[in-house]
Structure 1
Amino acid sequence: MESLTVNGNVQNGQNGKSTTDKKQAMTMIKKSQEQGMGFNETMDWYKDWTATYDQEVESVQYAGPRLVGEYLMKYAKERGIQGRSAILDVGAGTGLVGQILRDIGYNNIDGVDASDTMLEIAREKSIYERLYSAKLGEGNKLPMIDDTYDAAVMSGIFVQGHVKLDALLDIIRLVKPGGLIVNAMREENTREVDEYLNIHEVFASWTKKGLWKCLEHANPPVKFYAEYHPLVHVYEVTK
């Protein structure tokens, strides 16, 4: 499988360059995470944003997908997670994470997202085996059977008005014992968004219940995007 390295100079796209105006991109990103926006409002916002989403997140050098790829590879080989292993891209959106996974050699990827318009873009890229349209968390159960996947990955889903932490309980259900869960998010959200203020206490409680164990919490020396910082969680399912 192809190697992938993320360092202090990581950039997406061609040398991190984009013709998209970065100020406009940040306006769109901040609007999608606006305080007080509910789930339905957020989904409506994505309908309007889908057409320019990929270009705009590229313009702010969104490193989340590459971080997910790097940390998955770091722990996957010793667990036998290879090219045809089943991987679930949670909050797949337009397929940015899925494309990274394809690029580094994974080719049995499913995706799930609540935005049908974003999934239409992902489908056009021919990255995924299957795509599911579903709301994550809040007691919703995804249609896949238990222990379907060798790993689940996600980037940027834990932001204001998007996905609640309890969504991970259903993801744990879907990942086989010994499988991996890799999450990349904006570190600032653990201090600024009410839903995630106690994220590490919640994760620790699931460890105590025997659902998973922590392999790594990392703060890579890169920007998640723009001026924001990344936080990466890597867990092994132990249920």
Structure 2
Amino acid sequence: MVNASNGTANRHDISESAADLTRMSDASPEDLAAYYDKWAGSYDTDLPKMGYDAPMRAAAIMQGQGVALDAPILDAGCGTGLTGLALADLGYRDITGIDISLESLQAAEAKGVYRHLKKRDMNKPLAFGDNGFGAVQCIGTLTYVREVRKLFAEFCRVVKRGGIISFTQRADLYDGAFAKAIQATVRAGLWEQVSHSDPMPYLPNHQDFGDQKHVFYDVYRVK
């Protein structure tokens, strides 16, 4: 049910975990894992009610950048697998997913679109070899990463030269520190910018986000 007066999802229409999303921006990795473990059971039904379309947009970016359908792709912060499912719907078939929530990874496994799924905290090294992926996407996850600059360097390490790194970040969190992490990665000669989107809808039907919070879609190419 959508509240006809303002187009937002009523708190009674989504789970308690979805309604509490705004409280998680500064959560510890342990609290974050517990939160998404709890939410995993209703995540796939809650997100459409909130108008979340980032998985489809992100998959279209991969396709638009000419990433080959057989290229190994790292879906960093894959959650319950909605992002991987959107890639698979376009024909991508070599997808590795990582996430901090074990319950979310189990939900992702049930979708049958991932070659590998691994529990990872992205504030730590990714534990993959160098140059093993043709692309990385990180959708709706950087909000929770404290060591963003280190993560960007890790993405550039695990993606082969010329590969694509695609990520989103909330516009209200695209602050000086975040921009500096991007530019430091540019100055280190690790990547170059391909595109930076206009502010796009994030969770337009969530009453605490609505039209107040938007998201940028960035694409970089590994050098």
TM-score range, shorter chain: 0.7 to 0.9
Q: Which of structure 1's runs of 4+ aligned residues deviate more than 4 A?
A: 22-26
Q: 1:229 aligns with which of 206, 214, 220?
A: 214
SS in 1 for 2:164: strand
Q: Which amino acid aligns with 1:185?
A: Q
SS in 2 for 1:188: helix
Equivalent-residue separation in structure 1 for 2:120 and 2:30 (angstroms): 13
Q: Which amino acid aligns with 2:82?
A: L
Equivalent-residue separation in structure 2 for 1:175 and 1:156 (angstroms): 20
Equivalent-residue separation in structure 1 for 2:30 and 2:16 (angstroms): 23
Aligned residue in 2 for 1:180: 164
SS in 1 for 2:97: strand
1:45-124 paired onto structure 2 within 5 Å: 45-75=35-65, 77=66, 81-124=67-110
Cα shift at 1:185: 2.5
Equivalent-residue separation in structure 2 for 1:171 and 1:207 (angstroms): 13
Give the structure-1-normalised TM-score: 0.79
Question: Is the 1:26–1:60 contact (alpha carbons within 8 Å) kept by the matching residues of 2?
Answer: no
Equivalent-residue separation in structure 2 for 1:203 and 1:218 (angstroms): 15
1:124-162 superposed Cα distances (whole Å, 9 cap, x missing partner): 11110011111112xx22222100000000111011x45
Question: Is the 1:25–1:57 contact (alpha carbons within 8 Å) kept by the matching residues of 2?
Answer: no
Aligned residue in 1 for 2:4: none
Aligned residue in 2 for 1:41: 31
Percent identity between the two aligned chains: 24
The unaligned stretches of length 5 or more in structure 2 are: 1-8, 205-209
Equivalent-residue separation in structure 2 for 1:124 and 1:149 (angstroms): 23
Alpha-carbon distance change, 23 to 144 in structure 1, aligned in 2, over 3 angstroms: closer
- Confirm or deny that 1:168 pairs with 2:152: yes
Cα shift at 1:85: 0.8
Aligned residue in 1 for 2:13: 21
1:184-195 paired onto structure 2 within 5 Å: 184-191=168-175
Cα shift at 1:63: 2.0
Give the structure-2-normalised TM-score: 0.85
Cα shift at 1:31: 3.4
Equivalent-residue separation in structure 1 for 2:162 and 2:77 (angstroms): 22
Question: Is the 1:64–1:185 contact (alpha carbons within 8 Å) kept by the matching residues of 2?
Answer: no
The unaligned stretches of length 5 or more in structure 1 are: 1-16, 192-196
Cα shift at 1:163: 5.2
Question: Is the 1:180–1:237 contact (alpha carbons within 8 Å) kept by the matching residues of 2?
Answer: yes
Question: How large is the RMSD of aligned CA atoms in angstroms?
Answer: 2.2
